[in-house]
Structure 1
Amino acid sequence: MAFRRRAKSHPLFSQEFLIHNHADIGFCLVLSVLIALMFEVTAKTAFLFILPQYNVSVPTADGELVQYHYGLKDLVTILFYIFIAIILHAVVQEYALDKINRRLHLSKVKHSKFNESGQLVAFHLTSVIWCLYVVVTEGYISNPQSLWENYPHVYLPYQVKFFYLCQLAYWLHALPELYFQKVRKEEIPRQLRCIALYLLHIAGAYLLNLTRLGLILLLLQYLAEFFFHMARLVYFTDENNEKLFNVWAVVFVVTRLFTLTLYILVIGFGLPRVESQALDPERGNFFSFLFNNILFRMSVLLLVCLFQASVMWRFIHFQLRRWREYWNEQSSRKRAAAAASTKQQTKLLKRDSGTFSSPPGFAFL
């Protein structure tokens, strides 16, 4: 399966060969795992790559409910879905973004930003729909108290665990994509910082058993990011159309307020209501034991508030710079229009005065 048409072949296992064929290599590895499912000898190993592990039967009033917890085998599953993400990245790039780029004829810098925003629009839209479906079906929105009730949430429903594994796989796949997409050196620090922040927050929510709160926060964050990258795509197609940036600004501020409110509600007021328990790491209540400590809880809230304040400060600085550039552009346009109007009037006056004046040699008469 070839994702790209190549004008020339490259030496086997060379750097250019790897860059141009990385999606095909990933597809072959995924296909090998799928073929392994067909044989009894290898099926058990193949399932480690495809399905979430550590399932536990939890007794309920209606019978038994199969749920999951995390462990080292999750790394194998994440590795498999990293290759899936690489393949999907190549499909979106080849069959959507490259075709649009050929029509737009963007510069090299805009071309790179257009590809970045195009990939993230597809990912954020998919994640928002998926995350919204999970939080609605699990009842986290209709019952906000479920965000902290019965903490720690050691056992996860299948769709919650699978969502987190796919999220970790996507942001881990973004690291080799910096090399495969030949991202400019100036852009690498910014993108690395963004990837690291997402991995830190998603892995933190997953390992600290704060998956319910993490789902709501991811939904808010991805919603704001979707509008931002959608606004960038529209701007690249029509530089005079900046209306979506205003929509993104409103959504961004609202999501920041909701994010801070949720942190205060869950960590500041919800988790302290959890009954004090003896320290038992095997049961998974180590962090609930810590959250019962007011000093630890207030330290977490302080870090969260400082981080949100820094994000808002950068946003305000960005908006002020954008408005300043907009007004400077408008004033320069007005000055240019006024200069053009004055120049036109001067030409008319010279033409009119030349019609009735004396010849140059008889100006003294």
Structure 2
Amino acid sequence: MAFRRRNKSYPFFSQEFLIQNHADIVFSLVIFILIGLMFEATAKTAILFIQPQYNVTTLSPEGEVTLYHYGWKDCATILFYFFIAIIFHAIVQEYLLDKVNRRLHLSKSKNTKFNESGQLCVFHLVSSVWSFYILITEGYLLHPSSLWENYPHVHLRYTVTDVLRYEVSTTLPFVFQEELSRQLQYICLYLLHISAAYLLNLSRVGLVLLFLQYVSELGFHVARLFYFTDENHQKMFDLWAVSFVFTRMATLTLMFLAVGFGLARAENQELDLETGNFNTVLIRMTVLLLVCFTQSWLLWKFIRFQLRRWREFRHEQAVRKKASTKQPLRSLKRDSLGHHENGLLKAENGASPRTKKLKSP
């Protein structure tokens, strides 16, 4: 099955061929893994791609509860989620974005940005709703102290560990976008922060930060989609600017509260790989410096963008003001000389000027 209509064919195993047909190739791999579940000889290998392998069953007042932690076998699960995310992006592009593009008739550059924002809107919407659901059900928002108490948080519920694997796997498909160089730095930052929160057992704090980031990014891409449909919709960018600054401040506050003060008061502050305890002064300072550097870099790019936008707005206002001042001067000069009516020059009092008689030769 082909997700897109092919107007041009490329040589096999070329870069253009892989980019054009990556959804079909990945769909075949997913079918191959699912077929492996049907046979006993390959079922144990195929299940590694679908089901998390590191689980622990504990007793609670509600009964038996299954908790999960990470390991090297999670790479297979992340790879399978990566395949599913690519197929999902191809479906959104084929059955939603392409149909909207045919009606809007955008230019090539705007069409690329519209597709990018459309894909990221779906990704951030699903991620923010899923993260918010987990934050409410686990009680992280109502009890902020649970973000750092009883550290290390090695054993987590399936939804918490699964959403982190999902975030890693769904960030990777954006490497197939056309403007890869512009998005590569953001992709690397996402992978670095999510992987650090996952491996250092800071999943609870990382989940709250991801929720804040995805809500802010969702507002930006929704505003850009409305702008492409109608360029008069620019007020939503002002709302996004406020939410962007609030997200940066909330991220820094939460990190200093959880890592700088909460974990600093814990009794066990020795590195222990077996128990998953990474609560040391060096690791805490490294995490805080990384987050501070990232947030400062994002704020610096945001300020540069706003200043460039402000200069462009002032330039447009100056051009309009200059054009408006020239218009009365031209009309004044025309009125002083008179005006034309029915092909004849009329004076200010409405009388026609006298024509000069020509002498005969």
Query: Do they fold alike, i.e. is TM over 0.5?
Result: yes
Secondary structure at 1:123's aligned position in 2?
helix
> Could you say if the C-alpha distance between residues 254 and 8 of structure 1 is closer, same or farther in structure 2, counting changes exceeding 3 Å?
closer
- Within the alignment, does 1:307 sit opposite 2:298 as a pair? no
2:93 equivalent to 1:93:
yes
CA distance in structure 1 between the aligned counterparts of 2:334 and 2:102, rounded to whole angstroms:
44
Superposed CA offset, 1:218-257 (max 9, x none): 0111111111111111111222221110110011111111
Query: In the alignment, residue 314 of structure 2 is paired with which amino acid?
Result: W
Q: 1:341 to 1:38 in 2, by over 3 A?
A: farther
Counterpart secondary structure, 2:154: coil
Structure-2 separation of matches of 1:254 and 1:127? 19
The amino acid of 1:32's aligned partner reads: F
Cα shift at 1:307: 3.1
Q: 1:297 aligns with which of 284, 290, 299?
A: 284
The range that moved more, 12-21 or 115-124, is: 12-21
Matched, 1:212 2:204: yes
The aligned amino acid for 2:30 is: V
Matched residue, 1:245: 237
* Aligned residue in 2 for 1:18: 18
Structure 1 contact 54–69 (Cα < 8 Å) conserved:
yes
Residues 1:27 and 2:19 aligned together: no
Question: Which 10-residue stretch deviates more, 31-40 or 256-265?
Answer: 31-40
Which residue is 1:264 aligned to?
256
Q: 1:45 to 1:303 in 2, by over 3 A?
A: closer
Q: Distance in 1 between matches of 2:355 and 2:148?
A: 94
Q: CA deviation at 1:278?
A: 5.0
1:327 Cα deviation from its structure 2 partner: 2.3
- Check whether the contact 1:69–1:154 (CA below 8 A) recurs between aligned residues: yes
Matched residue, 2:134? 134
Do the aligned partners of residues 305 and 283 (structure 1) sit closer, same or farther apart at CA in structure 2, a change above 3 Å counting?
A: same
Mapped to 1, the partners of 2:311 and 2:9 lie a distance apart of: 50
Could you say which structure has the higher helix fraction?
1
Gaps of 5+ in 2: none
User: How far is 1:31 from its partner?
Assistant: 1.5
Query: Hey, what's the Cα distance between the residues in 2 that align with 1:127 and 1:333?
Result: 44
CA 315–18 in structure 1, closer or farther in 2 if over 3 Å, else same: closer
Match of 2:107 in 1: 107
Change (3 A) 1:23 1:331: same
Letter aligned with residue 34 of structure 2: L
Measure the CA separation in 1 of the matches of 2:26 and 2:141. Answer: 38
Q: Structure 1 340/100 Cα, relative in aligned 2: closer, same or farther at 3 Å?
A: farther
CA distance in 1, matches of 2:150, 2:30: 38
State the distance in 1 between where 2:244 and 2:184 align: 22
17-26 or 187-196, which moves further after superposition?
17-26
The match for 1:355 is 346
Distance 1:279 1:296, change over 3 A: closer
Q: CA deviation at 1:29?
A: 1.2
Shift of 1:42: 2.4
Tell me how large the CA RMSD over aligned residues is. Answer: 2.2
Q: Give the distance between the partners of 1:232 and 1:122, measured in 2 at CA.
A: 14
Equivalence for 2:190: 198
Shift of 1:188: 3.1
Q: Displacement, 1:279? A: 4.1
What secondary structure, in the 3-state scheme, does the structure 2 residue paired with 1:142 have? coil
Cα 1:245/1:277, change in 2 over 3 Å: closer
Does 1:283 pair with 2:270? Answer: no
Amino acid at match of 1:355: K
When residues 301 and 25 of structure 1 are mapped into structure 2, their CA distance, relative to the original with a 3 A threshold, is closer
2:325 equivalent in structure 1: 338
For residues 31-75 of structure 1, the C-alpha deviation after alignment (integer angstroms, 9 at most, x for no partner) is: 222222233332222211111221112343444321111111111
Instruction: Show the counterpart of 2:247.
Output: 255
Residue 161 of structure 1: aligned partner? 161
Percentage identity across aligned positions?
A: 58
Change (3 A) 1:245 1:279: closer
331 and 117 in structure 1: CA distance in 2 versus 1, 3 angstrom threshold: same
Aligned twin of 1:189: 181
> Matches of 2:168 and 2:293 in 1, distance apart?
25
Find the structure with the greater CA-based Rg.
2
Residues 15 and 317 (structure 1 numbering): CA distance in 2 closer, same or farther, change over 3 Å?
closer
Which letter maps to 1:112?
T
The 1:192–1:14 alpha-carbon spacing in structure 2 relative to 1, beyond 3 Å, is closer
Amino acid paired to 2:115: N
Range with bigger deviation, 24-33 or 222-231: 24-33
Structure 1 residues 23 and 63: alpha-carbon distance in aligned structure 2, compared to 1, 3 A threshold? same
Deviations 1:249-301 (A, max 9, x none): 0111111111111011101111112212554311111x12x1xx3x6534543
1:193-223 superposed Cα distances (whole Å, 9 cap, x missing partner): 0100000001110001000000110011111
Q: Is the 8 A contact 1:52 1:161 kept in 2?
A: no
Partner of 1:223: 215
Q: 1:166 aligns to what SS in structure 2? A: helix
Aligned residue-pair number: 349
Secondary structure of 2:4's match? coil
Structure 2 counterpart SS, 1:321: helix
Q: Which runs of 5+ in 1 are unaligned?
A: none
